[in-house]
Amino acid sequence: MWSGTPLFPESASTMAPRVDALYLFLVALSAFFSLLIAGLIVYYAVKFRRRSPDSVGARIHGGLVLEITWTVIPFLITMVIFVWGASVFFAMSRPPDETLNIYVVGKQWMWKFQHLDGQREINELHVPVGRAVKLIMTSEDVIHDLFVPAFRIKADVVPGRYTHIWFEPTKAGRYHLFCAEYCGTRHSGMTGQVVVMEEDDYQTWLSGGVQEGSLAAAGEKLFNDLACNTCHRSDAQGRGPMLQNLFGSTQVLHDGSKAVVDEAFLRESILTPARRITAGFQPVMPAFQGIVSEEGLLELIEYVKSLKTQSQGPDIRPQTGGPQPGEATPARRPETR
């Protein structure tokens, strides 16, 4: 019975040793001070045990030096822990520039993973060792949370927005994946596995299986099916901004504010375009809220991301006025919360 009982989780990502180091330091610190205090209490309780029923304690009010000491020293210690914890957190919050992106949609009560090349997985996520992986996540219904104990990472998956998380696996193997935000009846069933494979095995796995076409290709199909191409086109008939090189650029909106075109921007532009009209364009785009599913949105976003031409700047040619290529890119309007 005992042999199957681990007392410490496996360490399978680059972050795990950093988190464990902080944890073990805190365990040692806590154990030291707890034992110190417990020891003192027991010692005093014994040494100064009441000998006769009428005896009283000594007349001691307090001591300023002691008070200051045991306020300042804990303060300094907690500040050390704060800085340490913050530095680990910064590393967790900033994915490296080059990441393997995978989209995640959580819904009651399953996880749907979509690789860019079209591989879809349910409740199982295959990733390669030694490469930074970024998960871009949303929920279809209520708040969930993607948690991989072996990687020491966790993030809420929220309906109505995208959250992201990154990790770099260091060891091949199968690791638990849990939903860690209570989400209803089968919350404890919303589990899965992360399957970390050596790079070669991963490539083999990628090329096997039913090829459905990449996410971007699916997005292109959806783009045409939904008739987006009737307005977003490059000729005089086009009433919408052209989408080449749009992703990652900064746009001026009709109210004068500026926004960086990221996944959240595109999502909102499709669902409720009235909020995201680019300067110089009429607010005629219909809202696709309720018409496009979360997966459809991801496909469309990947398609827009894939639209790159050889030219340098944004290539939008509105019919009436608007920002010209080369115009100074304005500051970003905070959007992703």
Partner 1 sequence: MSRTLLLPPHHYLNDGFGVRSWLLTRDHKRIGLLYLAAVTFFFFVGGAFAVLIRLELTTPAGDMVTDETYNKLFTMHGVMMVFFFLIPAIPSVLGNFLIPIMIGAKDLAFPKLNLASWYIYILGALFTLYALIAGGVDTGWTFYAPFSTVSSTTNVIPTAVGIFITGFSSILTGLNFIVTVHQMRAPGMTWFRLPLFVWAIYATSLIMVLGTPVLAITILLVAAERLFHFGFFDPTLGGDPVLFQHLFWFYSHPAVYIMVLPAMGVISELVAAFCRKQVFGYKFVAFASLGIAVLGFLVWGHHMFVAGQSVYAALIFSLLSFLVAIPSAVKVFNWTATMYKGSVSWSTPMLYAIGFIGLFTIGGFTGLFLAAIGLDVHVTDTYFIVAHFHYIMVGGTIMGYLGGLHYWWPKISGRMYNEALAKISAAIIFVGFNLTFFPQFVVGYLGMPRRYHAYPPEFQVLNVLSSAGASILGVGYLIPMVYLIWSLRYGRLAGSNPWGAVGLEWSTSSPPPTQNFEETPIVTWDAYEYPTPVEGRVV
Partner 2 sequence: MSDSPTTHREHHPALAHHFGSLAEQKEASTLGMWVFLVTEVLFFGGLFATYAIYRGWYPEAFAAASHELDIMLGAINTAVLITSSLTMALAVHAAQTGDRRRLMIMLVATMVLGCAFLGIKGVEYHEKFVAHHVPGLDFQFEKEYFRHAQIFFSLYFVMTGLHALHMIIGLGIMAWMLRWSWNGTITRDYASPVEISGLYWHFVDIVWIFLFPLLYLIGRHG
Site for partner 1 in 25-54 (CB under 8 A): 26, 29-30, 33-34, 37-38, 40-41, 44-45, 48-51, 53-54
Q: How far apart are the first and last CA of the chain?
A: 46
How far apart are the C-alpha atoms of 302 and 255, rounded to whole Å?
A: 27
- For the bound state, the minimum distance from the C-beta of residue 275 to partner 2, rounded and expressed in Å, comes to 8
Where residue 159 falls (left for φ over 0; alpha for ψ -120 to 50; beta otherwise) is beta
Q: Which is nearer to partner 1, 34 or 324 (CB)?
A: 34
- Is the CB of residue 244 less than 8 Å from the CB of residue 236? no
Cβ atoms < 10 Å from Cβ of 281:
21
Q: Which is nearer to partner 2, 224 or 272 (CB)?
A: 272
- For the bound state, the minimum distance from the C-beta of residue 39 to partner 1, rounded and expressed in Å, comes to 10
- Answer for which of 124, 174, 186, 227 binds partner 1 (CB under 8 A) is 186
Any idea what DSSP says for residue 212?
Answer: -
Angle at 19 between CA 15 and CA 25, to 5 degrees: 150
Q: Strand, helix or coil at 244?
A: coil
Candidates 162, 170, 219, 201; CA nearest to 11 is 170
Q: Which is nearer to partner 2, 205 or 288 (CB)?
A: 288
- Answer for which of 17, 122, 124, 160 binds partner 1 (CB under 8 A) is 160
Question: Considering CB under 8 A, how many residues would be counted as binding partner 2?
Answer: 7
- Answer for which of 55, 237, 309, 320 binds partner 1 (CB under 8 A) is 55
Does 180 participate in binding partner 1 (rule CB under 8 A)? yes
Candidates 251, 94, 292, 206; CA nearest to 241 is 251
- Answer for which of 60, 65, 210, 328 binds partner 1 (CB under 8 A) is 60
Q: Which is nearer to partner 1, 160 or 209 (CB)?
A: 160
How far apart are the C-alpha atoms of 303 and 225, rounded to whole Å?
A: 13
Does 21 participate in binding partner 2 (rule CB under 8 A)? no
23 binds, options partner 1, partner 2, none, Cβ within 5 to 8 A by partner type? partner 1
Angle, helices 294-306/263-271, rounded to nearest 10 degrees: 120
- Answer for which of 105, 179, 194, 260 binds partner 1 (CB under 8 A) is 179
- Among the residue ranges 68-76, 81-89, 230-238, 267-275, the one whose residues contact partner 2 (CB under 8 A): 267-275
Candidates 164, 176, 159, 167; CA nearest to 106 is 159
List the structure tokens of 317.
Answer: 């040619």
- For the bound state, the minimum distance from the C-beta of residue 274 to partner 2, rounded and expressed in Å, comes to 4
287 binds, options partner 1, partner 2, none, Cβ within 5 to 8 A by partner type? partner 2
Residues 216-255 that bind partner 2 (CB under 8 A): 255
How far apart are the C-alpha atoms of 298 and 293, rounded to whole Å?
A: 9
- For the bound state, the minimum distance from the C-beta of residue 145 to partner 2, rounded and expressed in Å, comes to 23
- Is the CB of residue 134 less than 8 Å from the CB of residue 166? yes
The site map against partner 2 for 272-301 (x = CB under 8 A) is x-xx-------x---x-x------------
Candidates 332, 214, 316; CA nearest to 264 is 332
Positions touching partner 2 (CB under 8 A) are 255, 272, 274-275, 283, 287, 289
